[in-house]
Amino acid sequence: MPIASLDTTAKRWVLSVQEYALLTARALLNVFRRPFYWSDIVFQADYIGIGSLPIVILTGFFTGGVLALNSASTLAQFGATAVTGQLVSLSMIKELGPVLTSLMVSGRNASGMTSELGSMIVTEQVDAMRALGTDPMKKLVMPRIVATVCMMFFLTIVSDAIGTLGGAFVSGILLGQNTSQYFHTAYQTLRYPDVLEGLIKPVIFGFIIATIGCFFGMKTRGGTQGVGRSTTQAVVVASVLIIATDFFISQVVISIFGR
Amino acid sequence: MSTATHPLSEAAASAEEPMVVFNHVSIGFDGKPVLKDISFELRHGETRILLGPAGVGKSVLLKLTNGLLMPDSGCISVFGKDLCHMKERDLFSLRGEIGTVFQEGALFDSMNVRDNVAFRLMEEHLPDEEIDRRVEEALRFVELEHTMKKLPSELSGGMRRRVAIARAIVTEPKLLLYDSPTGGLDPITSTTIIELVIKQRDASKTSSLVVTHRLQDAFMMATHRYDAQCKCIQPMPKGQTDPNTSFLVLHDGQLVFDGTTEELVRSDDPFLRDYLR
């Protein structure tokens, strides 16, 4: 690859990071500026939160179930099937609940945000909004960020709960284990840092999903093909960032709380 | 006495003050110049028709006028305010006083006609009754009051442009910007749209900047007027043109003509003669 094109690519990357940082900063500042667009926030919260509930419930249930199934067969080799609940609840609450819920919401909503905003950009609707004296960053971006952050928090709690229930269903009904023992070990093993970690992650992941979705939507160029390209990029970047950020949050929590 | 005369003299001064001033404005994209050293004025109650071949930068010039783009050099003043030194927040409130009709209408496709036209009024949190009254008035002006509940996708291209005009005039702006309002329309629909532009010009005397590449639309605007008595568009007496309508012509990113209809048709400039032929 010629040096010049490497140089151009690097500049484009740095410019994109700068634009993303600016969009994020403006969106955060807009949370504290009038007007607030409450009705848009409620509409987005309904679309993102209630709309994502079925996929989050299904994903949570089957993830908890498969965790119980796999861990029970491994633990049986050591005669430790009694701690299946412990393994399922820790995995769900610390890792899988937040990450899988975020990936599901990212696939559904980051793509939705990008394609919606991207279509508005290519059909000059965003310019029309600016020409009518309305800030699209406030009217379109801010409500999506606030709604996604709030809804991700609750969706993850639902996913954790349903995942633990899924594990209980598999270990109790399919594997014939003691269900009360399952719930007892699942509860007993949890400490505040685990719960804290499980609740910090969805807030940060929600922020990533919404800002990435809006960023790629707002920088869409090149007609319908451009909208498709931006949508794919948004889902890929949001998913990779979620998994990478998950690692760093876990690292920080372990270094602070020791677990 | 002085307090009684002061507002009058202020009003007279503001009527004299140009609505839009372009002062040596240049802009380019990706290192390629699009507009070079553009200077012109748009006065109160005046209509300026911006002509030029496709891709010459006419739409860019309109976007510069309402601050959607900022020039690389030179300065633009709208209502006496220098756009280049305004904060984004102040630009939004300034744009509230400017009505813009976009090339393809740019209606919000997820909102019905009523909400599209009422967008600005809803942002100002006006009472619903007031909004409905003004939306109906604006839609009656473009003869589309029966389409309130329809979505833009259910309208024809010409109807969408008319809704876009209704949306632009509903707030009674001081300045109207039309970006190729007849682009891509058939001749009959184009005439309907131009008649609406003439009607708006003569009924409300709003200053406007009209971008077009269709000479027949431009000359129809210069040679016709709205007759309030018969509520129709009438040709002006032979040899007469609207005194408040004048022309700007762009070529190769530069302003090659700024003058009246008569000056334009009598110009000896080879490009203009070729363009008008």
pLDDT digits (tens, 9 = 90+) for B118-134: 999 999 899 999 999 99
3-state secondary structure of A92: helix
Residue numbers in B near A127 (CB within 8 A):
63, 68, 102, 106
The candidate with the shortest Cα–Cα distance to B170, out of B191, B200, B150, is B200
Tell me what pLDDT residue B3 has: 39
User: To the nearest whole percent, how much of chain B has pLDDT over 70?
Assistant: 94
Cβ <8 Å between B102 and A132: no
Question: HSE of B28 in the Cβ direction (CA atoms, 13 Å)?
Answer: 9
Phi and psi dihedrals of B23, rounded to 5? -125, 100
Average pLDDT over residues B231-235: 87
Residues facing residue B69 across a β-bridge: none
Q: For chain B, give the mean pLDDT.
A: 88
Residue B74 predicted with pLDDT over 80: yes
**Is ipTM beyond 0.95?**
no
Tell me what pLDDT residue B17 has: 80
Please, where are the H alpha helices in A123-220? 125-131, 136, 142-169, 179-188, 192-218
Contact of A189 with chain B, judged by CB distance below 8 Å, is answered with no
Q: Say which of B92, B103, B106 has its CB closest to residue A134.
A: B92
Q: Say which of A119, A123, A129 has its CB closest to residue B104.
A: A123
What's the rounded Cα separation, in Å, for the pair B108 and A26?
Answer: 24
3-state secondary structure of B36: strand
User: Looking at CA atoms only, how far is residue A31 from chain B in angstroms?
Assistant: 15
What's the rounded Cα separation, in Å, for the pair A154 and A3?
Answer: 48
Residue A108 predicted with pLDDT over 60: yes
Tell me what pLDDT residue A2 has: 58
Contact of A132 with chain B, judged by CB distance below 8 Å, is answered with yes
At residue B76 the predicted structure's pLDDT band, cuts being 50, 70 and 90, is very high
User: To the nearest whole percent, how much of chain A has pLDDT over 70?
Assistant: 98
- State pLDDT tens for residues B80-89: 999 988 888 8
Cβ <8 Å between A131 and B96: no
Residue by residue, DSSP assigns A28-48 as HHHTTSS---HHHHHHHHIII
Instruction: Assess contact for B24 and B74: CB atoms under 8 A.
Output: yes
Domain ranges of chain B: 107-172
Tell me what pLDDT residue B189 has: 87
Q: Say which of B66, B93, B102 has its CB closest to residue A124.
A: B102
At residue A200 the predicted structure's pLDDT band, cuts being 50, 70 and 90, is very high
Q: For chain A, give the mean pLDDT.
A: 92
- State pLDDT tens for residues B90-121: 898 899 899 999 988 899 999 999 999 999 99
The DSSP bridge pattern shows strands B254-260 and B245-251 to be antiparallel
Residue A193 predicted with pLDDT over 50: yes
Average pLDDT over residues A136-164: 95
User: Looking at CA atoms only, how far is residue B241 from chain A in angstroms?
Assistant: 31
| A146: its two tokens | 């606030």
Residue A133: closest CA among chain B residues belongs to which residue?
B92
Q: Say which of A125, A134, A135 has its CB closest to residue B106.
A: A125
Residues 65-94 of A with CB under 8 A from B: none
Q: Say which of B88, B89, B119 has its CB closest to residue A132.
A: B119
Cβ-Cβ contacts under 8 Å for B56 (sequence gap 6 or more): B250, B251, B252, B253
Tell me what pLDDT residue B4 has: 41
User: To the nearest whole percent, how much of chain B has pLDDT over 90?
Assistant: 56
Cβ <8 Å between B96 and A124: no
Residue A76 predicted with pLDDT over 90: no
A193, with CB counted inside 10 A (0-12, 13-18, 19+), is middle
The candidate with the shortest Cα–Cα distance to B50, out of B262, B255, B270, is B255
Q: What is the pTM of this model?
A: 0.86
- State pLDDT tens for residues A167-192: 999 999 888 888 999 999 999 889 99
Average pLDDT over residues B152-177: 93
Tell me what pLDDT residue A194 has: 93
Tell me what pLDDT residue A235 has: 96
The DSSP bridge pattern shows strands B81-82 and B73-78 to be antiparallel
